Amino acid sequence: MHSRDVFAADCPVRPIFDDITSRWATLVVGLLANRPHRFSELASAIGGISEKMLSQTLKALTRDGLVDRAVTPTVPIQVTYSLTALGADLATHLVGLVAWVDRHTDRIHEAQATYDEDTPVPPAVANRRRGGA
Amino acid sequence: MHSRDVFAADCPVRPIFDDITSRWATLVVGLLANRPHRFSELASAIGGISEKMLSQTLKALTRDGLVDRAVTPTVPIQVTYSLTALGADLATHLVGLVAWVDRHTDRIHEAQATYDEDTPVPPAVANRRRGGA
DNA sequence: CTGAATCCGGTTCGATACTG
DNA sequence: CAGTATCGAACCGGATTCAG
């Protein structure tokens, strides 16, 4: 039986979980689930990502054994990223979760709207993410 | 048909996805999946969480219609949090994902160790989260 | 092309203290 | 008990710059 105490502050699954659910990791995995991609392909396919974040995300994923990094020593070096078997397995869960959110996004938006109406004071909560100014 | 372009920078599922996969939200949902909890119960059950973060997480989840907040006006006020039907549905996916990570944590740790060995320069990557001195 | 390193602003987070 | 206000520190993340 597995099941460590996920609720313990030092539970080892937390950092890994953070890796794979990080803002960009999900999108990278989602893209690689279809087919291998080159660095620049990923960069242009994922709206709003910076090279730094892409590089960082890819490195973390590779380190976790979820993504495979293949270097082709052509004139301008070419690097292709793909999912490992482990990564592919994870991908199914991840895309499933994203699909769930996608399916329920409208309902959630309604809930948010209702909540914001019923909230007397200016909702500071609504500002989470998407930092203005 | 659903399926917005998840890869677009302004895709509306992103902020929601961030809400539910935030470090603490997953744990809160995981706990509420078993049974309703009071504020202080959650606070003590989740190792390392601060009141501020718990409050914030709970508020976001409630706003998203995933968690229900019930106030019992006893002498010392009593507040009980539970999952809504929507939240319960989400919980299955979430705990499934956590369980997956739990199942593969050892393998991932091996991958990390191997990666770190093969990496000549001191791995700055390894420091992500869990910030050491 | 791929990616690492640096700089630096903004946001988030945690600890504490305080209110209802 | 339940939660908010404030403060300071840590971190994230973007733009830029440089190297292989």
- What is the mean pLDDT for each group of 10 consecutive residues in chain A (133 residues)? 83 93 93 95 91 94 95 90 97 95 96 90 49 33
Residue B10 has a pLDDT of 87
Residue A78 has a pLDDT of 92
For residue A112, being part of any structural domain is answered with: yes
For residue A2, being part of any structural domain is answered with: no
CB atoms A115 and B21 under 8 Å: no
Measured in residues, chain A has a length of: 133
| Chain B 1-60, residues with CB within 8 Å of chain A CB atoms | 2-4, 6-21, 23, 26-27, 30-31, 45-48, 56, 59-60
CB atoms B9 and A65 under 8 Å: no
Residue B54 has a pLDDT of 97
Strands A78-83 and A67-72: antiparallel
Q: Which residue of B has its CA nearest to A42?
A: B7
For residue B108, being part of any structural domain is answered with: yes
Q: Which residue of A has its CA nearest to B114?
A: A63
Domain with A34, as residue range(s), is 13-129
- Helix, strand, or coil (residue A83): strand
- Helix, strand, or coil (residue A122): coil
Q: Residues 82-121 of A near strand C (Cβ < 7 Å)?
A: none
For residue A49, being part of any structural domain is answered with: yes
Rounded Cα–Cα distance for residues B13 and A101 (Å):
6
Residues B89-107 have a mean pLDDT of: 96
Rounded Cα–Cα distance for residues B39 and B69 (Å):
10
Beta strands in B17-131, from DSSP E residues, in sequence order? 37-38, 67-72, 78-83
For residue A1, being part of any structural domain is answered with: no
For residue B2, being part of any structural domain is answered with: no
Of A93, A102, A103, nearest to B6 by CB-CB distance is A102
What the block records as the tokens of A100 is 């769930």
For residue A48, being part of any structural domain is answered with: yes
Of A64, A108, A109, nearest to B111 by CB-CB distance is A64
Residue B126 has a pLDDT of 46
For residue B49, name the pLDDT band (cuts at 50, 70, 90).
very high
* Cβ neighbours around A27 below 10 Å, total: 25
Decide: pTM greater than 0.85.
Answer: yes
Rounded Cα–Cα distance for residues B106 and B72 (Å):
44
Rounded Cα–Cα distance for residues B66 and B89 (Å):
9
* Structural domains in chain B (count): 1
Residue B110 has a pLDDT of 95
Residue of B21, B27, B58 best to disrupt the A interface, most CBs of A under 10 A: B21
For residue B113, being part of any structural domain is answered with: yes
What the block records as the tokens of A24 is 């960009």
The CATH number assigned to the domain holding B116 equals 1.10.10.10
Mean pLDDT rounded to a whole number for chain B = 89
Residue A111 has a pLDDT of 97
Residue B26 has a pLDDT of 95
What is the share, in percent, of chain B residues with pLDDT greater than 70? 87
